[in-house]
Structures are given as structure tokens and as C-alpha cells.
Amino acid sequence: MRKAILTSDNSHTFFDKRTGEHYHSTFGAIQESQHIFIKAALEYKSQNSKELNILEIGFGTGLNALLTYKYAESNNMTINYIGIEAFPIDQKEALVLNYPDLLNIKQEEFLKMHEDTEDKIRIGDSFILQKLFNKLELLKLGQAKFDIVYFDAFSPDVQLELWTEDIFKMIFDSMKKNAVLTTYSCKGIVKRAMKSAGFKIEKLPGPPGKREFLRAEKNGDG
């Protein structure tokens, strides 16, 4: 169902035969994740915070979580991380991916992220991960919990049900005031759905191979 592909920055991604899409940009998997999720969301929000709650839609390969863990360790931060993934990869598949070598992280820490459990997992001193193996539209996220949301689902072309006003409103309600969401998609239907849900959105310059991406904020009066 999944095939490992080497991208242009020498990091792996998977090609998903079920959807016909790659998990990350073929122009550079690590490069894309670092640009859209770490720099534009995590670094942006962590300037005055030492503890953050993060939600990821589309846990996938675990690359965003791994980069977040590396950032947290380097900056003495505590991260509470929830990743939603209806079709998780297993540890055998994770072994194929070269992220630990490229990021100088122990492979056992990366494999721990792919344990087949919905229990909370502690990785390192201050990174707590919980994965939910379910479809987003079937979950209840609660109210005002998250500082950051990484929206990294497959594209609206193949998962349109995840890019709707109703979904973004549920996510909006789950976020704290002044929280941020980033996503690689800049499609008109995505922007309209986010605005209708209450977000203030901005287009930012994208990583190689991507002209623009979106950052959405829940304003203080939201």
C-alpha cells in the first residue's frame, strides 16, 4: 500500500497507493515539514512559551512529530502532542525511513512514535505523544485545548471530507485564543472553509516546489 521514495533533500517519503499521493513533497520531505510546520507554526508560537499543546491532523510518517521533538529538546520545551491517523504505518515501515540518521536522533525514539497504542507515550524528557487511530470526522476534540495545529492530511482532491467548514469549525473550537494552524494547501475551497469557520488566514511563501501555503490564526476575540 505504501512505497518509500527518496525526495530531493535526500529524505524519504511514502507514496500511498490507496490515495495516489505522496505523504510529503518530493522536492524535499524534511525541508517541507521544517518550513511549513516547524518554522511557520512551532517557532512562531514558541517565542514566549515553554509548554505547548499540539494537534496534528494526519500523523503519517511521524516526521512532523519527530521534528517537533527535536526542536523541543533543543529549546528545553514541554510538548503535549496528539496525532490523528486513521491508517497508521507500523514500526516495520518506519524502519525504512531515514529521518533518524538525517536528524541525528536515535532510531528507537522514532520507532517508539510508531508503537501500536493509543496510550500516551513519553519520548525524551518532555515530549508526550498520544496517537488516535480514527477518522477526524468521528472524533470530538474538546474546547480551547491546542496552541498549534498541523493540518497535514492528504489533499482535498482525495480527502475532501477533511477540508470542510464543519471540520475547520471543530478544529477552531478546539484551539486556544491566538492559536495557529498551518497547512500546505492554498486552494480556494480551503481558504473559504477556514474563513467561514472563523479563522484569520494569511498566505506565506512556500518551500521549494510550493509557491504558497496557509497560516490561520484564531484571534483573541475568537
φ/ψ of 42, rounded to 5, equals -65, -50
- Position 23 in a domain: no
- Position 17 in a domain: no
- Position 87 in a domain: yes
Cα–Cα dist 139/136, whole Å: 5
- State the cell numbers at 211: 509557491
- Position 21 in a domain: no
Cα–Cα dist 174/55, whole Å: 9
pTM of the model: 0.96
- Position 97 in a domain: yes
- Position 19 in a domain: no
Q: Which domain holds residue 57?
A: 33-217
- CATH of residue 180's domain is 3.40.50.150
**Domain tally for the chain?**
1
In tens, the pLDDT along 122-179 reads: 999 899 999 999 999 999 999 999 999 999 999 999 999 999 999 999 999 999 999 9
